[in-house]
Amino acid sequence: MTEDPEKHSPIGPGHQIAAPVPARHKTAWIVVSILLLAAIALAIVLILHHREEAKKKAAAAARPAPGIAVTIATAQKGAIGIYLDAIGTVTPVYTDSIASQVDGVIVAVHYTEGQRINKGDPLIDIDSRPYRATLLQAQGTLERDENVLAQARMDLERYRAAWARNGIAKQILDDQEKLVLQDEGTVKNDQGTVQYDQVQVEFCSIAAPIAGRVGLRLVDPGNVVQAAAAATLAVITQLEPITVIFTIPEDSLGQVEARLRKGAKLTVDAFDRSALTKLGSGTLLTIDNLIDTTTGTVKGRAQFANQNDALFPNQFVNTRLLVNTLQGVTLIPSSAIQQNGQASFVYLIQNNIAHMRSIKAGVTNGGVTQVTGIGPGDVVADSSFDKLQDNSKVAISAQPAAAAAGGSNGSGAP
């Protein structure tokens, strides 16, 4: 019978060598250990970061929230004008179109194109020889008839002396008296003829009837002119002073007439086509007597000194009529006024808090508006309106911009 070899083995189970561990199991254990350490480190970092964020939030919550940055303006007490804007045309006070009153040949043209002339300066000479000859004939006839009259008067004196001595009949004396009257009439007729011929001679020398500027030359020496043709020989326009005709809306006519009835001299400013450059200031002379039913306006005429010739005849201009001036009113920048439908309001700044305050806007002029509802010295917001609400906290970002006391641009009426 065969025996089991392990049964009689001299080495016991406690002294047996363990079998070796495979290499792949050892590597997996190392990777797991590294991942576990990384997870622990990440958890520690997240916990520290969370604590830091919590501290920052707590500090931010403890600090007061910053206000909305705004610029401000201070309401001022001042004066503002009520203006009426319109378009107008520069119109000379006098425009003379010179024409010949006699027939003849032009012998001289004394003016140059665009020349500034004075009243009485020579312009054109027409050949006067035919008219001087006619004048000489009329003067000769007058001298003859004056001598005939003198002879008749001398005979009348003789007849009166003879009648006093009963030397002649009364009929002869009466006939001589009537003969003297006839000769006197003849002399008067001759005097009229002489005066007429003298005027014709004077018409041959044309002088400037007004001071102004002459236009382009229309005739030359050698041209034949005729009085019946009424051809224009020269055109003169007066430049100083000059007027501007503009329109006034019929709805504003009452304001203008009320000021004119009080004897007020209303100022009118003229600007160029772009309404940016001021050309001059004048005074309203008068208004027309009819309203144009097609436009609902009435024409007004203003006079300007025009010493610098900035206004040119027939020039298109923009006019601004100062109807009245409001004194002692509250003024703020127009940009500070907000609209809520038909209502106007501002943000009144008090202790760095914005309060909505309803106002009534009146005259607007040069970026400044007259308002009621706030008083001089009140501070209003002038920016950041997209962020502001009632009772919003604000932070002033600039010094107050005081409202101007009035301006020369813009228009409006209460």
pLDDT, one tens digit per residue, over 199-225 is: 999 999 999 999 999 999 999 999 999
Interval 96-155: pLDDT, tens: 999 999 999 999 999 999 999 999 999 999 999 999 999 999 999 999 999 999 999 999
Q: What is the mean pLDDT of the segment spanning 244-262?
A: 92
* 83-92+238-325: CATH number: 2.40.30.170
Domain with CATH 1.10.287 in the chain: 128-203
The answer to whether residue 345 scores a pLDDT higher than 50 is yes
CATH class of 128-203: mainly alpha
Interval 269-326: pLDDT, tens: 999 999 889 999 999 999 999 999 999 999 999 999 999 999 999 999 999 999 988 8
Question: What HEC string does the chain produce?
Answer: CCCCCHHHCCCCHHHCCCCCCCHHHHHHHHHHHHHHHHHHHHHHHHHHHHHHHHHHHHHHHHCCCCCEEECEEECEEEEEEEEEEEEEEEEECCEEEEECCCCEEEEEECCCCCCEECCCCEEEEECCHHHHHHHHHHHHHHHHHHHHHHHHHHHHHHHHHHHHCCCCCHHHHHHHHHHHHHHHHHHHHHHHHHHHHHHHHHHCEEECCCCEEECCCCCCCCCEECCCCCCEEEEEECCCCEEEEEEEEHHHHHHHHHHHHCCCCCEEEEECCCCCCEEEEEEEEEEEEEEECCCCEEEEEEEECCCCCCCCCCCEEEEEEEEEEEEEEEEEEHHHCEEECCEEEEEEEECCEEEEEEEEEEEEECCEEEEECCCCCCEEECCCCCCCCCCEEEEECCCCCCCCCCCCCCCECC
To the question of domain 94-126+206-237 being in CATH 3.90.180.10, the answer is: no
Average pLDDT, the chain: 86
372 vs 63: which has the higher pLDDT: 372
The answer to whether residue 180 scores a pLDDT higher than 90 is yes
61 confidence band (pLDDT: 50, 70, 90): low
To the question of domain 70-80+326-396 being in CATH 3.40.50.450, the answer is: no
The reported pLDDT for the residue numbered 66 is 66
Highest mean pLDDT: which of 59-73, 195-209, 347-361? 195-209
The reported pLDDT for the residue numbered 11 is 47
The reported pLDDT for the residue numbered 183 is 95
Lowest mean pLDDT among 46-50, 230-234, 238-242, 310-314: 46-50
Domain with CATH 2.40.30.170 in the chain: 83-92+238-325
The reported pLDDT for the residue numbered 406 is 47
